Structure 1
Amino acid sequence: MPKYEQQVRDILEALGGEENIEKATHCVTRLRLALKDESKVDSEKLEAVDIVKGSFSTNGQFQVIIGQGTVDQVFRDMMEMTDIGEASKQDVKDAGSQKLNPFQRAVKTLADIFIPILPAIVTAGLLLGLNNILTGEGIFFDEALIEVYPQWADLAEIINIIASAAFTFLPALIGWSAVRRFGGSDLLGIVLGLIMVHPDLLNAWAYADAQEAGEVPIWNLLGLEVEAIGYQGQVLPVLFASYLLSKIELGLRKVVPDSIQLLIVAPVALLVTGFITFIAIGPITFALGNGITGLFIWLFDVVPAVGGFVYGVLYAPLVVTGMHHAFLAVDLQLTGSGDGTFLWPILALSNIAQGSAALAMIFVTRNENLKGLSGTSAVSAYLGVTEPAMFGVNIRYKFPFVCAIIGSAIAGTFISINAVLASAIGVGGIPAFLSIFPQDWVPFIIGMIISIVVPFTLTFLYGKFVSKEKI
């Protein structure tokens, strides 16, 4: 007999019946479902089931939060009790993608490309934070730690090499993930990324100075002059080049006989993509990428309070829609320039604010299950994972979500006025200070305090003294 038989029956009924479920799978904490008609879902009935901790819809998937461990058994019971049949995560993604409009598909494509490389980027960010501690001035002494203790200088240099590798060869990481996403051979994607940062090319970070001095190296291709520059720290060039490479490769595989594909497909695909990239894709997208980041830099330079406030307000709603992944490209472009990003610190404070609002719900609710969920999801958000807090608690009761946004907006405004920058993308929660430039630690920590105190206080006061909803 299934362990969660009654709960599964209740979940199926709330979802509109077994016949409304097109495909089903699960991850560590959630059932992930492609539904035929999400309007048939009774959210109140679904979240009244004792094992359900929340639900939400994103990127064409309907996800039911169950919890680690329990979700495995619930999914097995569902498969045993129904004829739905287990699907892979990709099957559910594909089924859900069919319901998305073109803009949503574009955002989802960016997410599919950047999410697989995030562990490398976050790890690099944490290690760069450690390097910042060793090399930053005014942290422990007026001078940098390695100047007071010169014997640590080589240690710091090795750490910096290990940490900066992911950003130095960022096009190779993006090329691997993007070509795989577009259906091509991921190994060719790596090679394409490495071509774009080849050491014989002018380093992209030195391009501005070389251009000013009139020393940009030029190739003469049968009378066509092409700048021989690399694309270190650039995002758009490798994204467009990866798409082209994938389409050329897939097209060649359809027409080239299997016996000679090894000799023809990869060399031709890379050669054609390489020429088109250096002649057209690179220069155009290089200018476009710099223009986009320049717009953000202008906004935060001229009216930093407005930029910080708007991004602080919008980031959490962007997470709900999945559109926040689009800004990861901007963050990577900003950090790739070496000057640091002003967007990512606001992201970290937004995550902390969502955790603080969830934490306050422990003292608002009388429901023991909600107390437990609020506590665990708050800890998760403080460590950079906000899904349980946002979808399991805050959005469910609405006012905690609004209170968190208010706290995020105030904190974002404050750190933007104080020009807080992160040297890299790290863990988007309390450990985020490690990725912040040491000279910006004080205003950032004040921003952290704001994002903890304001959402917690507002959520507690509203839940205790204003809300008429039984919680």
Structure 2
Amino acid sequence: MATNREIAQEVIEAIGGQENIQSVAHCATRLRIMVHDKEKIDQERVEGVEKVKGAFYNSGQYQVIFGTGTVNRIYDEVTALGATGSTKADQKEESAKQGNAFQRAVRSFGDVFVPIIPALVATGLFMGLRGLVLQEQILAFFGLTPGDISDNFILFTQVLTDTAFIFLPALVAWSTFRVFGGNPTIGLVLGLMLVTPALPNAWEVAAGNAEPLKFLGFIPVVGYQGSVIPAFVAGFLGAKLEKRIRKMVPESLDLILTPFLVLLIMITLSLFAIGPIFHTVEEYIMAGTIYILDLPFGLSGLIIGFFHQIIVITGVHHIFNFLEIQLFENLGFNPFNPIISAAIAAQGGAALAVGLKTKSKKLKALALPSSLSAFLGITEPAIFGVNLRYMKPFVMGLIGGAVGGFLASLFKLKATGLAVTVIPGTLLFLNSQIFLYLLVNIISIGIAFGLTWAFGYKDGMLDK
């Protein structure tokens, strides 16, 4: 077995040597390499390196999949061998002009939401645990009824489950400023202004328990608790405005004038223009999403379950983070999560079939861990390392995902959170739907596994 230093050296040589490396960084699963000339990359040689689960060129970066944990060690060895390390933020700037306008926009959107996701995952898990603890059957097991639960305990659970969504605009504005080069603290304060208690609470207004403020007799002004697009637009424009103002004011006055002008201008625009306009846009997007999810006879699950992993390949799937957040904030549950969970599980089932059927020790060592990764919610190793390489397993995974998505939609499964799927996703269904959720994922895996075993893979494909 090769050492991590030897693997790093092989990767460097396969992509054209040190002289072809502009910079290198890594994320949770991939080594991300900026190269001077992608024509010098020996794709077949890279994929043949031990521990490599797949490699592809995307968004201006050559991305080599190693998986969680391993990628950190390989990165350390690559930089120790002389490659220039850089942060992901630096690489984002270097690759900012790569891809078409839509890809760049979605990539920026993803960059904003990815840092927020962990807080929302925790919130969803808190909701699932609260739902479990407060179930009548669970309480009865301990000789309790819902009436025995104290108001203070309910209040404590609300602190855990409501805080992130109440201050979601602050998180979004902070992250948007960070991504587009502004001062994140100014973005945070701007976002907090959008949810200040001085404004009528958006949820109270929606429930009819409060009235919007009226400026100039016709502009409705409310808080923006739970809103995403107004905070994103305000953050984007605010970051651009901040950079423009910094160039105009004298350095001696920068500390005083820049934050003052940015906050004054942006909160005025946000409350009187950006907020009302883009909150309406947000409502239309939400209505369209719900319309698709409400298609009869499980059609929505069939369509989403089939196409979700195809969209993952394109790299623009981060747009779904926004949709899941909006669904969860508006409905109080997430019907999208169980559908994509089935799609993810199916790719794991297809990779598992390849791993168990092949006689190739190298492919077996690649496919089996990749299938486990998919069952934990990360499909890139399974897709790029196994299924897409032989194509048929990927298609069989799509079919399994479509069937699982169809059932998830038909059963009307509702997750209590977002961003975790398959095995970890069970924590979002700690209610009466847990068995249906498990059934849907098992069927998705079973169909993808069976089709791949019967029609989707044979060792003769290795020769092609």
Contact 2:345 2:444 in 1 (8 A): yes
**2:212 equivalent among 217, 222, 228:** 217
Tell me the secondary structure at the aligned position of residue 341 of structure 1.
coil
Q: Aligned equivalents of 1:298 and 1:168: distance in 2?
A: 26
**1:303 equivalent among 276, 296, 301:** 296
In structure 1, the partner of 2:192 is 194
User: For each residue in 1:428-466, what CA deviation from the matched residue of structure 2 results, as whole angstroms up to 9, or x when unmatched?
Assistant: 2223132247344343232122122111222222356x6
274-283 or 30-39, larger mean C-alpha shift: 30-39
Q: Aligned equivalents of 2:375 and 2:411: distance in 1?
A: 23
Q: Aligned equivalents of 2:68 and 2:107: distance in 1?
A: 25
Contact 1:136 1:144 in 2 (8 A): no
Tell me the secondary structure at the aligned position of residue 461 of structure 2.
coil
Tell me the secondary structure at the aligned position of residue 62 of structure 1.
strand
Deviation at 1:12, TM superposition (A): 4.3
Q: Aligned equivalents of 2:439 and 2:114: distance in 1?
A: 30
Alignment of 1:213-362 (within 5 A): 216-220=211-215, 223=216, 225-303=218-296, 305-362=298-355
Deviation at 1:112, TM superposition (A): 0.6
Structure 1 residues 408, 252: closer, same or farther in 2, change over 3 A?
Answer: same
User: For each residue in 1:203-252, what CA deviation from the matched residue of structure 2 results, as whole angstroms up to 9, or x when unmatched?
Assistant: 22233443xx9x633233xx353212111111101000111211222222
**2:159 equivalent among 151, 158, 161:** 161
Structure 1 residues 240, 143: closer, same or farther in 2, change over 3 A?
Answer: farther
Say whether 1:46 aligns with 2:52.
no
Deviation at 1:142, TM superposition (A): 9.0
Tell me the amino acid that sits aligned with residue 52 of structure 1: V
Q: Aligned equivalents of 1:145 and 1:318: distance in 2?
A: 49
User: For each residue in 1:331-355, what CA deviation from the matched residue of structure 2 results, as whole angstroms up to 9, or x when unmatched?
Assistant: 1111111432221221222222222
Deviation at 1:78, TM superposition (A): 4.7
Q: Aligned equivalents of 1:383 and 1:80: distance in 2?
A: 31
Structure 1 residues 254, 13: closer, same or farther in 2, change over 3 A?
Answer: same
Contact 1:350 1:451 in 2 (8 A): yes
Tell me the amino acid that sits aligned with residue 244 of structure 2: G
Deviation at 1:5, TM superposition (A): 7.5
Tell me the amino acid that sits aligned with residue 365 of structure 2: G
Tell me the amino acid that sits aligned with residue 105 of structure 2: A
Deviation at 1:122, TM superposition (A): 0.8
Alignment of 1:374-385 (within 5 A): 374-385=367-378
Structure 1 residues 193, 80: closer, same or farther in 2, change over 3 A?
Answer: closer
Tell me the secondary structure at the aligned position of residue 422 of structure 1.
coil
In structure 2, the partner of 1:205 is 203
**2:395 equivalent among 387, 399, 402:** 402
Tell me the secondary structure at the aligned position of residue 108 of structure 1.
helix
397-406 or 40-49, larger mean C-alpha shift: 40-49
Tell me the secondary structure at the aligned position of residue 219 of structure 1.
strand
In structure 2, the partner of 1:469 is 461
What TM-score do you get using the length of structure 2 for normalisation? 0.89
Structure 1 residues 39, 416: closer, same or farther in 2, change over 3 A?
Answer: farther
Q: Aligned equivalents of 1:146 and 1:104: distance in 2?
A: 53
Report the aligned-residue RMSD. Answer: 3.0
Q: Aligned equivalents of 2:111 and 2:253: distance in 1?
A: 32
Q: Aligned equivalents of 1:313 and 1:11: distance in 2?
A: 34
Alignment of 1:115-194 (within 5 A): 115-136=114-135, 140=138, 147-148=145-146, 150-151=148-149, 154-194=152-192
Q: Aligned equivalents of 2:91 and 2:40: distance in 1?
A: 19
In structure 2, the partner of 1:96 is 95
Tell me the amino acid that sits aligned with residue 132 of structure 2: I
In structure 2, the partner of 1:109 is 108
Deviation at 1:288, TM superposition (A): 0.6
Q: Aligned equivalents of 1:144 and 1:273: distance in 2?
A: 53
What TM-score do you get using the length of structure 1 for normalisation? 0.88
Tell me the secondary structure at the aligned position of residue 335 of structure 2.
coil
84-93 or 389-398, larger mean C-alpha shift: 84-93
Structure 2 spans left out of the alignment, 5+ residues: none
Structure 1 residues 96, 458: closer, same or farther in 2, change over 3 A?
Answer: same
Structure 1 residues 406, 231: closer, same or farther in 2, change over 3 A?
Answer: same
Structure 1 residues 185, 62: closer, same or farther in 2, change over 3 A?
Answer: same
**1:367 equivalent among 357, 360, 368:** 360
Structure 1 residues 28, 277: closer, same or farther in 2, change over 3 A?
Answer: closer
Q: Aligned equivalents of 1:168 and 1:118: distance in 2?
A: 15
Alignment of 1:431-450 (within 5 A): 431-436=424-429, 438-450=431-443
In structure 1, the partner of 2:420 is 427
Deviation at 1:103, TM superposition (A): 0.8
Q: Aligned equivalents of 1:190 and 1:166: distance in 2?
A: 13
In structure 2, the partner of 1:63 is 63
Q: Aligned equivalents of 1:386 and 1:145: distance in 2?
A: 43
The list of structure 1 runs, each at least 4 consecutive aligned residues, that deviate by more than 6 angstroms after superposition, is 2-6, 141-146
Tell me the secondary structure at the aligned position of residue 180 of structure 1.
helix
User: For each residue in 1:268-319, what CA deviation from the matched residue of structure 2 results, as whole angstroms up to 9, or x when unmatched?
Assistant: 2112111111111111111111101101212222436222111111111211
Contact 1:116 1:177 in 2 (8 A): yes
Deviation at 1:365, TM superposition (A): 1.5
Q: Aligned equivalents of 1:145 and 1:369: distance in 2?
A: 55
Size of the aligned set, in residue pairs, is 462
Deviation at 1:87, TM superposition (A): 3.1
Structure 1 residues 39, 255: closer, same or farther in 2, change over 3 A?
Answer: same
Structure 1 residues 432, 63: closer, same or farther in 2, change over 3 A?
Answer: same
Tell me the secondary structure at the aligned position of residue 294 of structure 2.
helix
Deviation at 1:358, TM superposition (A): 2.0
Deviation at 1:146, TM superposition (A): 6.6
Structure 1 residues 260, 29: closer, same or farther in 2, change over 3 A?
Answer: same
Deviation at 1:395, TM superposition (A): 2.0
Tell me the amino acid that sits aligned with residue 167 of structure 1: F
Q: Aligned equivalents of 2:416 and 2:6: distance in 1?
A: 51
Deviation at 1:28, TM superposition (A): 5.5
Identity within the alignment, %: 35
